[in-house]
Amino acid sequence: MSVHDVDVLMIGAGPSNLALAVALEECGSPEVAANTMILEQYGDVKWQRNLLLPWTRSQVSYVKDLVTLRNPRSRFSFLNFLHERGELDGFVNLGTFNPFRWQLSTYQQWVADTLEHVQVRYSVRAERILPIHAEDGTILGFAVPLSDGDTILCRDLIFGAGRDAFVPEVFHGLPAERVVHSTEYGSRIGHTTGLARPGRPLRPVVIGGAQSAAEMFMALHQDAPGSSPMMLLRSIALKDYQTSKFVNELFYPSFVDEFFAMSEEARMRVLAEMHLTNYAGLAAPFLEELYTMIYRQKMLGQPVSTIRGLTEVVGSRVEGDEVVLDVRDLKDDSVEQVRCDALFMGTGFDPRMPAMVRHLADTMELPGITVDRHYRVDVGAGARGALYLQGVNEATHGIADSLISVLAQRSADIAGDILERRAADLGAGNGQVSATAQAEVMPV
């Protein structure tokens, strides 16, 4: 076990923190970048790790990569990634703005591999975050105990690990092996298919009506051969995203300023209006594929998969070797039993701040988690250390905050704020002193 001291620590090697790492290398001082570390709990970088299905595509243009909207000349662009791999001609000939998801995932690993200064530490998980206080109680930095027993001390901490998976309460009493969230699909589907019985294919039920639910529904036809998956959703039918060019202007990085300046009431109205631009919808080409698949099943006399709208699961339990769902039909309030072997949850993410962030806020006795325009949490007056949040600020920065549309500009905002604070230290004669040099670190 050992203790390491860095200037900037990022939790999660996803697109948000990789974009920030590039911004620090391109816009920042080499000293800050060289003393920056990203923690990644897995042994590699993968985007949407457990839904990296061969046919899934990004719904966002490749131009909205980690860097291009901030620096079109950057060597870290998606197009340069393809160029260096000899794949640019083939991609251009494909004639699409929407790469396969596995291409963007490979691109992100390439970015991590080619960083010149920022270090990526793999196969370690941040167990919790603890504040480091000066004698007067102000925040100097943070201590992050790791799963391998080490502890990282840092001045600035950036949380970019995303929200916690959400499973509705009605399913909480079921055995864990029967419930698979979309964030676990790839790693657990092999074990789940073992729930099938001799002579009886797996009987899977997918809960939800958005992109992740539909992708699992489609994938189960291959991953659970012979099965006839059922999808249950509250809405009347599967819908496509709102993708008009007028609506897409609300995903411009410049709209973040406009949204942040609104009253809280106005923000809530705008978020409600924009709901179908990102949630509870599917990409139009994928909707076409799903409808065609079910049509083909019917015409060829194959077992027909089922998509049932206007339904709500009001109870769940295990009886013998089956999961039994009480499913209410919202058209007439009748309730029927649906028997299955496993549930696949396309139910999204907990809308609250991630549990690790909430625990830190409680430890610091913050009255609330308030984020400024540059994504920095208010941790009290006079703080030398800073906490930044990426991808969880829809309430203050707009619906695009959880997407890749604003990654490049957001990284510039955070990098600029970090460097401004360093410059202010130098101007005050503080120098580049370690955030923890004057602190007595609490036991971790």
Check pLDDT > 70 for residue 111. yes
Name the CATH topology of 3-164+350-427: FAD/NAD(P)-binding domain (3.50.50)
pLDDT of residue 443: 43
Which option is the CATH number for 169-241+278-345: 3.50.50.60, 3.90.1580.10, 3.30.70.2740, 3.40.50.40? 3.50.50.60
pLDDT of residue 59: 87
Q: What is the mean pLDDT of the segment spanning 173-178?
A: 96
Q: Do domains 3-164+350-427 and 169-241+278-345 have the same CATH topology?
A: yes
* Backbone Cα Rg of the chain: 24
Sequence spans of domains, the chain: 3-164+350-427, 169-241+278-345
pLDDT of residue 438: 44
Q: What is the mean pLDDT of the segment spanning 219-234?
A: 94
pLDDT tens digit string along 270-317? Answer: 999 888 777 778 888 999 999 999 999 999 998 889 999 999 999 999
For residue 221, give Cα distances in angstroms to 8, 89, 218, 227, 299. Answer: 45, 33, 6, 7, 17
Buried b (16+ CB within 10 A) or exposed e, 146-173: beeeebbbbbbbbbbbbbbeebeeebee
Q: What are phi and psi of 173, to 5 degrees?
A: -85, -5
Six-digit token string for 191: 């074990």
pLDDT of residue 276: 77
pLDDT of residue 244: 86
Check pLDDT > 80 for residue 238. yes
pLDDT of residue 45: 98
pLDDT of residue 198: 80
pLDDT tens digit string along 187-207? Answer: 999 999 888 888 789 999 999
State which amino acid sits at residue 219: A
pLDDT tens digit string along 54-104? Answer: 999 998 999 999 999 999 999 999 999 999 999 999 999 999 999 999 999
Query: How far apart, in whole angstroms, are the C-alpha atoms of residue 344 and residue 107?
Result: 28
What average pLDDT does the chain have?
Answer: 93
- Give the rounded percent of residues in the chain with a pLDDT score beyond 90: 83
pLDDT of residue 434: 57
Query: How far apart, in whole angstroms, are the C-alpha atoms of residue 30 and residue 27?
Result: 9
* Structure confidence at residue 426 as a pLDDT band (50, 70, 90): confident
Check pLDDT > 50 for residue 108. yes
Query: How far apart, in whole angstroms, are the C-alpha atoms of residue 215 and residue 206?
Result: 10
Contact partners, residue 29, CB within 8 Å, separation at least 6: 419, 422
pLDDT of residue 80: 98
